[in-house]
Amino acid sequence: MILVTGATGTVGRQVVAQLRERGVPVRGVSRDPAAADVPTGVEMVRGDLADPASVEPYLAGADAVFLVWPFNSPEVTADLGARTAGMLARHVTRVVYLSAQPAAGRPDSSWAVMERLIEASGAAWTFLEPTGFATNTLMWADQVRRESVVRWPYGAAARSLIHEHDIAAVAVQALTETGHAGRRYVLTGPEAVTQADQARIIGEATGRAVRWEELPPPEARRQLLTAWGDPGFVDSALATWAGLVTRPELVTQTVEEVTGHPARTFRQWAASHADDFRPPSGR
């Protein structure tokens, strides 16, 4: 039996569905299990990693855990993460942790702190380190629905965004098969696509032309501070996008190497999410 934290989130929901497709028993953890839309046969329970003790009873009988860590603060992670990692190691033999590709270069980030805590816990581990999620472009959806425009900085930044289905597919392999312990999998889409081209592709998927409007970085910072609230996180994101203008994001073949199937393209992601960018009358 596999315990999936963040079972109603972007990747967790996919992990749950793909495990059930294989006939694997799944227990999903959510802060609001009653609102979860999950496949038949999935046991949903209420738990919150802000209080690790609320999750511990549900580890009984679990063989492995898919861990989605919800905290960006390294300080919070150092405390709650240590308790969580120790708790998992007491009950399961395998932890698959959804980390992030920048963890390797940012040892003080929450992702890297949690990786070290899991390593030290004694449990067998696999770390998934994706680049940007294709679903992050949904933050453009309101603009696209209203005006068929994306106002954003660094249109020339090239990203190898990954489909959430592919992240989950690698997670399922690591959760259910041997040979993945101690591995760090850097996961990307199959190509780097500029942000301006992402907007164009979204438009083609919806059947409505979408134009790119370059947003000056100072104005983008102001808007993102209002939306995200964390100056360090905002500045890090802007610096990352700026760097990707001259040095496109890396592309790996890890998804295909682990699953046997090529990673889905951004165009495929846009086609499957086209309704999210259409006004209600056009869906």
CATH superfamily of 132-162+188-250+261-283: NAD(P)-binding Rossmann-like Domain (3.40.50.720)
66 close to 5: Cβ distance less than 8 angstroms: yes
Q: What angle do CA 246, 200, 206 make, to 5 degrees?
A: 150
Whether residue 192 has pLDDT greater than 70: yes
- Residue 168, pLDDT score: 98
User: pTM for the whole thing?
Assistant: 0.93
**Model pLDDT for residues 195-245, shown as the tens digit of each residue:** 999 999 999 999 999 999 999 999 999 999 998 888 888 998 899 999 999
**Model pLDDT for residues 118-170, shown as the tens digit of each residue:** 999 999 999 999 999 999 999 999 999 999 999 999 999 999 999 999 999 99
User: In the CATH hierarchy, which fold is given to the domain comprising 2-130?
Assistant: Rossmann fold (3.40.50)
Whether residue 63 has pLDDT greater than 70: yes
The pLDDT confidence band at residue 104, using thresholds 50, 70 and 90, is: confident
E strand residue ranges, the chain: 2-4, 26-30, 43-46, 64-68, 94-98, 124-130, 149-152, 158-159, 183-187, 193-194, 211-214
Alpha carbon dihedral 113, 93, 260, 5, in 10-degree steps, equals -60
- Residue 283, pLDDT score: 62
- Residue 36, pLDDT score: 77
11 close to 171: Cβ distance less than 8 angstroms: yes
The pLDDT confidence band at residue 38, using thresholds 50, 70 and 90, is: confident
Maximal C-alpha separation, the chain: 54
Cα–Cα nearest to 5, from 63, 48, 61 = 48
Instruction: List where CATH 3.40.50.720 sits in the chain.
Output: 2-130, 132-162+188-250+261-283
Q: 184 in helix, strand or coil?
A: strand
Phi and psi for 118 in degrees, rounded to 5?
A: -70, -45
| Token pair 């164009």 in the structure block, residue | 200
Whether residue 277 has pLDDT greater than 70: yes
The pLDDT confidence band at residue 37, using thresholds 50, 70 and 90, is: confident
Q: What is the average pLDDT score of the chain?
A: 94
171-183 residues labelled b (16+ CB within 10 A) or e (exposed): bbbbbbeeebeee
